[in-house]
Amino acid sequence: MSVPRLVPPRTPIVLVVDDVRANRELLEGHLVELGYDVRQARDGYEALDAVAAEEPDLVLLDIDMPKLDGIAVCERLKAHPVRRLIPIVILTASSDRETRLRGIAAGADDFLSKPFDAKELLIRTKVLLNQRALNRRLDATEGVLFALARAVEARDRYTIHHAERVGRYAQAMGEAFGLHSEDNDLLYEGGVLHDLGKIAIADAILLKPGPLNEQEFARMREHSAEGERICLSLRSVADYLPIIRHHHERVDGTGYPDHLGGSAIPLGARIVAIADAWDAMVSDRPYRAGLGCDEARRRLDSGSGKQWDAAIVEIFAGLLDAGLQDRVTDRQLAARA
Picking from 111, 137, 163, the residue at the C-terminal end of a domain is 137
Same domain, yes or no: 47 and 87 = yes
**Does a structural domain hold residue 59?**
yes
- Tell me which residue range forms the domain holding 181: 141-336
Q: Quick check: is 113 in a domain?
A: yes
Burial bucket for residue 167 (CB in 10 Å: 0-12, 13-18, 19+): buried
Encode the chain (337 residues) as per-residue pLDDT tens digits.
677 888 777 788 999 999 999 999 989 988 888 889 999 999 999 999 999 999 999 999 998 888 899 999 999 999 987 788 899 999 887 777 887 888 889 898 888 888 878 888 888 888 888 888 777 666 555 666 777 777 777 676 656 688 899 999 999 999 999 999 989 999 999 999 999 899 889 989 988 888 899 999 999 999 999 999 988 877 667 889 999 999 999 999 999 999 999 999 999 999 999 999 999 999 987 778 889 999 999 999 999 999 999 999 999 999 999 999 999 988 877 766 5
**In 3D, which of 253, 295, 305 has the Cα closest to residue 274?**
305
CATH number of residue 297's parent domain:
1.10.3210.10
Q: Is residue 288 part of a domain?
A: yes
Q: Maximum CA pair distance of the chain?
A: 76
Domain-embedded: residue 6: no
Assess contact for 59 and 86: CB atoms under 8 A. yes
- What's the pLDDT score for residue 156? 65
Q: Which of 269, 192, 197, 265 is nearest to 226 (CA)?
A: 197
| 165 and 215 fall within a common domain | yes
What pLDDT does 157 receive?
62
CA angle 233, 141, 189 (to 5 degrees): 90
Identify the pLDDT of residue 124: 86
Question: Is residue 1 assigned to a domain?
Answer: no
Say yes or no: 276 and 254 in one domain. Answer: yes
The answer on 56 and 133 residing in a single domain is yes
Residue 99 domain-assigned? yes
Question: Which has the closest alpha carbon to 268: 240, 292, 293, 291?
Answer: 240
Q: How many domains does the chain have?
A: 2
Looking at the fold, whether 31 and 153 belong to one and the same domain comes out as no
Asked whether residue 5 is assigned to any structural domain, the reply reads no
Confidence (pLDDT) at 81: 74
Q: Same domain, yes or no, for 83 and 208?
A: no
According to the model, what pLDDT value does residue 224 have? 95
Indicate if 58 and 32 belong to the same structural domain: yes
pLDDT of res. 230: 85
Sort residue 259 into left (φ over 0), alpha (ψ -120 to 50) or beta: left
Shared domain for 85 and 170, answered yes or no, is no
Q: Of 137, 165, 197, which residue is a domain's last?
A: 137
Q: Is residue 221 in a domain?
A: yes
* Cα separation, 277 vs 281, whole angstroms: 6
113, HSE (Cβ side, Cα atoms, 13 Å): 6
Contacts of 103 (CB under 8 A, 6+ apart): 63, 71, 74, 90, 92, 111
Are both 125 and 179 inside the same structural domain? no
Q: Which CATH number do you get for residue 112?
A: 3.40.50.2300
Smallest CA-to-CA distance from 73 within 82, 64, 239 is with 64
Phi, psi for 110 (deg, rounded to 5): -165, 170
Would you state the pLDDT for residue 275? 98
Q: Are residues 150 and 290 in the same domain?
A: yes
Whether residue 181 is found in the same domain as residue 313: yes
- The structure's pTM equals 0.65
| CA 108 – CA 196 distance, rounded (Å) | 37
Boundary of a domain, candidates 137, 156, 191? 137
Same domain, yes or no, for 218 and 169?
Answer: yes
Radius of gyration for the chain, computed over Cα atoms and rounded to the nearest angstrom: 25
